[in-house]
Amino acid sequence: MTTKPLFVGVHPDYARIADVELQTRLVRPDVEIVYSVQALAAQLRHLM
């Protein structure tokens, strides 16, 4: 566990997307999961 920023992006067609969503919610409920490279890049730009 860490409080460092974490960015999670998942392709919408990924076969195990539910696993990623569940594990992320359990370990880091504060992390928003995004479903496109553009959304992931926007999160990174917002951090800077």
pLDDT for res 1: 65
> Does residue 29 form part of some domain?
yes
Which residue range(s) make up the domain with 29?
Answer: 8-47
Q: Virtual CA dihedral for 2, 30, 42, 45, nearest 10 degrees?
A: -40
pLDDT by residue (tens digit) across 14-24?
A: 999 999 999 99
Q: Is residue 13 part of a domain?
A: yes
Q: Is 18 helix (H, G, I), strand (E, B) or coil?
A: helix
Residue 32 lies in a domain: yes
Whether 2 is covered by a domain: the verdict is: no
Is 37 among the domain residues? yes
pLDDT at 2 over 80: no
Handedness of CA 1, 47, 23, 29 (dihedral sign): positive
* Residue 20 is assigned to a structural domain of this protein: yes
Closest CA to 34 of 1, 9, 2: 9
Residue 35 lies in a domain: yes
The Cα 7–Cα 29 span in angstroms is 12
- Count of domains in the chain? 1
